[in-house]
Amino acid sequence: MHHLGLTRSSLKPDHLLQTPDAFVRTPLPGAERVEFVIHVGPQPGARFTQMTAEFTADGSLGPTPAQRFLYVIEGELELTAGDRKHVLAPGGFAYLPQGAPHTVRARDESRAAVIEKPYQCEAGAPGLDILVGDEAAKTSVPLLGDEALRVRSLMPDGPGYDFAVNTMTYEPGAALSMVEIHIMEHGLLMLEGGGIYRLGDSWYPVQAGDFIWMAPFCPQWFGALGKAPAKYLIYKDWRRHPLATPGGSA
Ligand code: UGY
Ligand code: MN
């Protein structure tokens, strides 16, 4: 089946829209019975990597040289760290500090968003612990007072943490109140619904399953369309001086 070379996907110097029809799977070293859709990495200019891991039953992740954040989309993952085992169901998430020994194994067919970023440590910042949580247990907060646009912060905010991961849920018709232009870069996975994303000087129809990368300072705006809420998982680098180098100290 071909589509005469058409896709909504687009790569520009300051953003990427990657739609499921353009996904290509790849294995990664150390992982077993998992295929990865690598959404972004340093190659097009990102300073982190984001992928979707598609596990068959008993599939497991390999090691990472960076911090790792997991968000379960489908199925169930067992995270083992030290003598503790956690079971992550859809909406469950985990943060693994750089160098923290752990294993991740799927009980059944499962899918998870995986975000990895070299740690930019800050002098005097406290050592970080493994965190495990459930999105549904996090309080949602209106963005800039807009009750129709609610944000859940999955990561704690403190001097030790150099990135944030949030979910944002838009009621139909809700929109960002401004075109944002900021130093943080974003990795974004559409989880539900859809709408129009402005990226740079282009406007794209987007829907659940799509991935977006926004480079630092990429102009961005979103408005939700349709009869159901639109929801996305969004990563941003955070709390580090602009001159700090990735992987180095601030
Ligand atoms: O956190 C953010 O910068 C967020 N408001 N950006 C976005 O949704 N594109
Ligand atoms: Mn933003």
* Ligand 1 geometric centre to CA of 126 (Å): 27
Q: How many CA atoms lie within 13 A of 21 on its CB side?
A: 12
Is 167 touching ligand 1 by the criterion CB < 6 Å? no
Q: Where are the beta strands (DSSP E) in 24-172?
A: 25-26, 32-40, 49-60, 67-74, 77-81, 84-88, 92-96, 103-106, 110-117, 131-134, 141-143, 146-153, 163-170
% of the chain beyond a pLDDT of 90: 92
Residue 85 has pLDDT above 50, yes or no: yes
Of ligand 1's listed atoms, the one at least distance from the Cα of 220 is 9
Q: What is the mean pLDDT of residues 88-95?
A: 98
* Ligand 2 geometric centre to CA of 182 (Å): 7
Query: Global pTM?
Result: 0.97
pLDDT of residue 248: 53
Residue 213 has pLDDT above 90, yes or no: yes
Convert the pLDDT of each residue in 158-200 to its tens digit.
Answer: 999 999 999 999 999 999 999 999 999 999 999 999 999 999 9
* Ligand 1 geometric centre to CA of 79 (Å): 29
Is 220 touching ligand 1 by the criterion CB < 6 Å? yes
Is 234 touching ligand 1 by the criterion CB < 6 Å? yes
Bridge partners, residue 53, by sequence: 36, 112
pLDDT of residue 1: 61
Measured from the Cβ of residue 125, the count of other Cβ atoms closer than 10 Å reads 17
Residue 17 has pLDDT above 50, yes or no: yes
Amino acid at 243: L
| Residue 124 pLDDT class (50, 70, 90 cuts) | confident
Q: What is the mean pLDDT of residues 211-219?
A: 99
pLDDT of residue 250: 44
Is 236 touching ligand 1 by the criterion CB < 6 Å? yes
* Ligand 1 geometric centre to CA of 205 (Å): 17
Q: What is the mean pLDDT of residues 219-231?
A: 98
Is 168 touching ligand 1 by the criterion CB < 6 Å? yes
Of ligand 1's listed atoms, the one at least distance from the Cα of 166 is 1
pLDDT of residue 7: 97
Q: What is the mean pLDDT of residues 77-81?
A: 97
pLDDT of residue 69: 98
Residue 250 burial by Cβ neighbours in a 10 Å radius (0-12, 13-18, 19+): middle
Cβ proximity of 15 and 199 under 8 Å: yes
* Ligand 2 geometric centre to CA of 244 (Å): 20
pLDDT of residue 91: 98
Q: What is the mean pLDDT of residues 8-20?
A: 98
* Ligand 2 geometric centre to CA of 53 (Å): 24
Residue 249 has pLDDT above 60, yes or no: no
* Ligand 1 geometric centre to CA of 88 (Å): 26
Atom 1, ligand 1: which residue's CA is nearest?
236
Of ligand 1's listed atoms, the one at least distance from the Cα of 221 is 9
| Residue 136 pLDDT class (50, 70, 90 cuts) | very high
Is 169 touching ligand 1 by the criterion CB < 6 Å? no
Of ligand 1's listed atoms, the one at least distance from the Cα of 232 is 8
Query: Sign (positive/negative) of CA torsion 240, 242, 245, 248?
Result: negative
